[in-house]
Structure 1
Amino acid sequence: MKFLKYKILLLATAGFLVTSCDKQDFVDVNTNPDALSAIPPQNQFLNATIAIHGQDFEAFYDLYRRIMPWLQYTTGLNGNQGAFTQTFDNFSQRYGRLYSGVGDRLYDLEKLVENMPAEEQPRYTNMIRIARILKAYYTFYVSDIYGAIPYSEAFQGRYGGTLQPGYDTQQEIFAQLDSEIKEAVATLKTNPTVPQISLGSYDQYYGGNAQSWVKAGNALRLKIAMRQIKVNASTAQTIIKEVLAMPAADLMASNADGWVFKANAAFTGGGNWDPTTLRAPKPIVDFMWQTKDPRIDAFFTPNSYSQANIDLLIAANRLPSGTKAPERRYVGSFTNPDQVKLPAITQQYYTPRSITANGQQLTIDTLSYIQPRLFSATIADANGNAGTGFSYLPVITFSDFAFMRAEAAARGITAESAKTWYEMGVTSSINWYDMVAQGAQLTNYTPVTQAEIDAYLARPEVAFDASKALNQIASQAYLHFLKQPTEGWANWKRTGIPNDNSVVPMPTLTNNGATLIIPRRAPIGLVNPSDPNFTNKQAAYDAMLALPGFGRDLQDATGRVWWDQP
């Protein structure tokens, strides 16, 4: 199931790993273009790629402490606590990174080519289009939770452009991105008139393969269109139909086509990547256990009640003689703060037994954890051996693409079979996690068999039912996005699934009887009148505040950006 031929070329200097600037200060770049003249264009592509994926700060704050608990993908060590959905400190650094680390470098790539001799420039045609697709993705990723941002006039400061760019509305950005991706795909599909300089190993997704980027670009067009189904239905449907009418060779068809960054274990090493305090969540664990989901041991670890540990407890007179290990060792943590507070639940689930064996203190824990190497491949196993597998950081997987096609069919936008694409999405998700589990060397993992997949697809909760097709598709997409929680969050906003009554449930959260509201966008800081771009910012923010549902003020994260409509 390998889908990449290239391992990550880790750069020796920390300077290539860009730290995001403040989201209000995107102009912090060198205004002298001559400083870049000696850099090969492909270097800037690799640098931008690493700036996108090498973000341990984002992993710790955005994923582990915010989005994953909000979406009930995980809980803290002692369950979700208090009004945890109202905490936003250090959340979302992606805005600043677009302008200092990603978009600026990909724009540099084009300018570096422009500075070459005229006869050399045509050899970089494909490289420029690939860079535009990547820049479009990250711009979409930023606008997705911020709304209006500078784009059409951005990145140009060091090349004589404005340092006070105007803001494009989210609708304008989505339209411009679609147009740019469409042009890039069309160019990549055309036989070049001169041999092209390949990105090669500077492209850690596809090794510079133009046809793979055609598939990635079309998948990105589809994703941006799906975001707009409620707010811009006619345009969304036109793009969806156009993309899915492309030749089969131009569309993702298997896990081998997935847009995934693959790195060595060290890429996700270090403290901020460490997920070892993240509990497995009860709603997902219960569903996966009941349905015999083959992904359960790729997602979560078994609890500590192995027979060996039980025997230690028996020897310490903590359990009756003859006690056997339970059949079920995947047990999830309660996601609702009010349930976590109940004394009976605290005693049964959050009060592990401790014993001393061979001079060492052992904690025998009732609850499961997130599979740590799924998020940080270097995490040591039970014997203290550090992981040496691969890190996988997805952008758009084939499973994601299949679920989008299934949804388009279920909504009647296309005449395709929703059942076929739904089953393809589920099957490819299981196989993708099986590949990742083995590549990342997950502990306590057993490879998947086809019989397990067939049995899972036949389960009443999973077998396709046209009467609840959208519910099933969105529920399975939710499970698939455990490794990509930002997309799980977006899909929940877009579909309303999971919820209390969906196939995979997500119970309402309460604290002291009050319902907790899950955030829907990034909070935006107040505008400083001394900001050089004050006028443009204030105008953009005033326009967003006038949008239905944007929220009571800029910092109201429960509000909705343009595409996120009821």
Structure 2
Amino acid sequence: MKNIKNIVLLTLLTLSFSCSDNYLDVNGSSTSPSSSTPDLVLPAAQKNSADMLYDADKLNASGDSFNRIGSIHAGVLADAGDRVWYQPEQQYLILNSTYSRIWENTYTLALFTYNFIETFEADGYDNYKAIAKIMKAFHIAMLVDTYGDIPYSEAFGRGNNTQPAYDDDKAVYDAIYEELNTAISMIDNAPAGTLAASTDAMLGGDMEEWKKFANTLKLRMLLRQVNTAVDLSSQYSELTSNGIGFVDTTVSVNPGYANQANQQNPFYTIFGLTPGGTPTNNNQAARGNEFFVEFLRDNNDPRLTQLFVPAASDGEIRGIPQNVYTNALRADATSALGPGLLVSSTQDLQVMLGSESLFLQAEAAFRGLISGDPAALYRAGIAASFSELGATGADVYESAAFSNKINWDLAAAAGNEIEAIITQKWIAGGFISGFEVWMDRVRTGFPSGIPIPTGAFSPVFPSNLLYPTSELATNSANVPEQGDNAAFDRHTFWMQ
């Protein structure tokens, strides 16, 4: 891990001289990290991927990220009553400036570095290029999910085209799906020994695991489209017939996190303690949505005490309704994030939970889209979530016959299988993979019953973000219309 850390630091120094401050450096930069090679750039690119998930606003260190806004809009994360850190998000106030850095830095930091790897003109880097394709697909899918149409086919022309056209969102999804297939084929045909394990901060150079990750990303993308009229039966058939399988443990990244300034795990940097041991501002602000906390409590969920610590004022685990600011619900009277989330400043950064993979398979199997036992996959997903959060008692919890959002037999009797799967996925990933549970809520409407926050500007929860102000300023001729913000009628193709 020390070797990876040194590679990351060296590469970031190299890249810092090649990236401008423009939002889309993949277009705007007139130079390139010509002294770098894919083996040097890959771990730095993977660090950038981690940052996009949990700390995309590197300039201001605000913690704006895909997962934080996802957790808020999925009814999981709330603001302490005396903090007012997440009020605009909880009010459903979506502006062109809202979380704009997740667009800008996904292009500038993550996609820039992966595109460099993918297009590097030298032999012997087949597996590096395959990984770059997989991670580009990972990030581009998130951009499509968040915004709809995006620059893709012209997005990587660098200085040759500083105003790229926008591609149709469905066409982008189809293109990156095929890129995942291409990456798998590249791995199958790569000469042995073309990637050093020490340069891969995610999967340690295990290319069979990279194939599983690509296959699982394909499953995620296909299930996004479950409500469309597109016939995807051949794609589902290929997912299982290709013999690759799906990830069965959490895919994570650790480029050498350390308890030092600018080197902590980004989730811990935002929600944990400073290297000196002082709680961060977000640590004092971040609380569980009352709906989320009470759902766990009502169902005797052992994960509750792993997700939250008791309030300092009275020792009770207490959430807070979103957008409610009162002294009675101040930081010390509500529950901060717990030991299942904040393990240490050096903990791995989760990219895809193993529990998510199992719940994806459970949903697809229940819908008859892939083979498999949905009940067994559902129970395995719960067990994986318990393990991920350091909780015990998964079997007793799932077998309890008092809720059809927990017990599979009750869910089946009520015709409630999809909601049970999505609800468990929401619990497992709400604070870790907030973006995914937000997209599930957009796609399925589950979990049901999550209240619209008091004082929200819209009675409809958000489904997208608006194109950033920087894009309107530099590429306005190509930016598509997005509809009425207050009504949230901007829709990615799979939401229709």
Q: TM-score, normalised by structure 2?
A: 0.81
Distance 1:497 1:8, change over 3 A: farther
Q: Deviations over 1:272-304 (max 9, x none)?
A: 874312122222222212322222122111123
- 8 Å contact from structure 1 (residues 57, 272) kept in 2: no
Give 2:217's match in structure 1, choosing from 211, 217, 220: 220
Q: What letter corresponds to residue 338 of structure 2 in structure 1?
A: Q
Give 1:69's match in structure 2, choosing from 67, 72, 77: 72
Q: Which residue of 2 aligns with 1:243?
A: 239
Q: What letter corresponds to residue 517 of structure 1 in structure 2?
A: V
Q: Deviations over 1:39-97 (max 9, x none)?
A: 12222222221222235354723468743333221221118869722154441323222
- 8 Å contact from structure 1 (residues 27, 163) kept in 2: yes
Give 1:93's match in structure 2, choosing from 85, 88, 101: 101
Distance 1:92 1:163, change over 3 A: closer
Q: What letter corresponds to residue 99 of structure 2 in structure 1?
A: F
Counterparts of 1:150 and 1:64 in 2: how far apart (Å)? 22
What pairs with 1:36-75 in structure 2 (closer than 5 Å)? Answer: 36-54=33-51, 56-58=55-57, 60-62=63-65, 66-75=69-78
Q: Which residue of 2 aligns with 1:203?
A: 200
Distance 1:404 1:16, change over 3 A: farther
SS of 2:155's equivalent in the other structure is coil
Q: Deviations over 1:180-209 (max 9, x none)?
A: 10121123234x4x4332142221111121
What pairs with 1:158-307 in structure 2 (closer than 5 Å)? Answer: 162-190=161-189, 192=190, 194-235=191-232, 237-247=233-243, 250-252=244-246, 254-255=248-249, 258-262=250-254, 264-265=257-258, 266-268=264-266, 270=269, 274=280, 275-276=282-283, 277-304=285-312
What pairs with 1:288-367 in structure 2 (closer than 5 Å)? Answer: 288-304=296-312, 329-335=316-322, 337=323, 340=324, 349-350=328-329, 365-367=332-334
Q: Alpha-carbon deviation of 1:518? A: 2.1
Counterparts of 1:427 and 1:373 in 2: how far apart (Å)? 14
Counterparts of 1:229 and 1:297 in 2: how far apart (Å)? 35
Q: Alpha-carbon deviation of 1:212? A: 0.8
SS of 2:347's equivalent in the other structure is strand
Distance 1:429 1:272, change over 3 A: closer
Distance 1:199 1:285, change over 3 A: same
Counterparts of 1:481 and 1:557 in 2: how far apart (Å)? 27
Distance 1:178 1:20, change over 3 A: farther
What pairs with 1:2-21 in structure 2 (closer than 5 Å)? Answer: 9=5, 11-12=8-9, 15=13
Return 5+ residue gaps in structure 1 as ranges. Answer: 307-324, 353-364, 378-386, 435-447, 501-505
Counterparts of 1:292 and 1:140 in 2: how far apart (Å)? 36
Give 1:481's match in structure 2, choosing from 408, 429, 448: 429
Give 2:335's match in structure 1, choosing from 333, 345, 368: 368
- 8 Å contact from structure 1 (residues 499, 508) kept in 2: no
Give 2:396's match in structure 1, choosing from 449, 455, 458: 455
Q: What letter corresponds to residue 72 of structure 1 in structure 2?
A: G
Give 1:472's match in structure 2, choosing from 407, 420, 423: 420
Return 5+ residue gaps in structure 2 as ranges. Answer: 259-263, 273-279
Distance 1:526 1:90, change over 3 A: closer
Q: Which residue of 2 aligns with 1:412?
A: 368
Q: Deviations over 1:363-420 (max 9, x none)?
A: xx44212227825x5xxxxxxxxx5x53332222221111111111222323422211
Counterparts of 1:252 and 1:167 in 2: how far apart (Å)? 32
Q: What letter corresponds to residue 85 of structure 1 in structure 2?
A: Y
Q: Deviations over 1:472-520 (max 9, x none)?
A: 00111111122111111111111111221xxxxx1233329x8643221
Q: What letter corresponds to residue 152 of structure 1 in structure 2?
A: S
Counterparts of 2:237 and 2:366 in 1: how far apart (Å)? 14
- 8 Å contact from structure 2 (residues 458, 487) kept in 1: no
- How many correspondences in the alignment? 457
SS of 1:67's equivalent in the other structure is helix
Distance 1:486 1:156, change over 3 A: same
SS of 2:227's equivalent in the other structure is coil
Q: What letter corresponds to residue 259 of structure 1 in structure 2?
A: V
Counterparts of 1:285 and 1:564 in 2: how far apart (Å)? 30
1:84 pairs with 2:27: no
Q: Alpha-carbon deviation of 1:107? A: 2.0
Q: Which residue of 1 aligns with 2:440?
A: 491
Distance 1:394 1:529, change over 3 A: closer
Counterparts of 2:112 and 2:400 in 1: how far apart (Å)? 49
Q: Alpha-carbon deviation of 1:15? A: 4.1
SS of 2:235's equivalent in the other structure is helix
1:510 pairs with 2:454: yes
- 8 Å contact from structure 2 (residues 28, 162) kept in 1: no
Counterparts of 2:446 and 2:114 in 1: how far apart (Å)? 35
Distance 1:528 1:419, change over 3 A: closer
What pairs with 1:372-411 in structure 2 (closer than 5 Å)? Answer: 374=341, 387=344, 389-411=345-367
Counterparts of 2:349 and 2:161 in 1: how far apart (Å)? 34
- 8 Å contact from structure 1 (residues 478, 498) kept in 2: yes
Q: Alpha-carbon deviation of 1:145? A: 0.8
Distance 1:183 1:515, change over 3 A: closer
Residue range with higher mean Cα deviation, 52-61 or 91-100: 52-61
1:27 pairs with 2:27: yes
Q: Deviations over 1:13-45 (max 9, x none)?
A: 76478799565776221x245xx3321222222
Counterparts of 1:529 and 1:57 in 2: how far apart (Å)? 20
Q: Deviations over 1:226-249 (max 9, x none)?
A: 1111125313x43233213332xx
State percent identity of aligned pairs. 21
- 8 Å contact from structure 2 (residues 92, 458) kept in 1: no
SS of 1:279's equivalent in the other structure is strand
Q: Alpha-carbon deviation of 1:427? A: 1.0
Counterparts of 1:520 and 1:111 in 2: how far apart (Å)? 34
Distance 1:372 1:402, change over 3 A: closer
Q: Deviations over 1:118-158 (max 9, x none)?
A: xxx1x222221111111111111222211112212321336
Q: What letter corresponds to residue 454 of structure 2 in structure 1?
A: T
Counterparts of 1:519 and 1:17 in 2: how far apart (Å)? 35
What pairs with 1:145-160 in structure 2 (closer than 5 Å)? Answer: 145-157=146-158
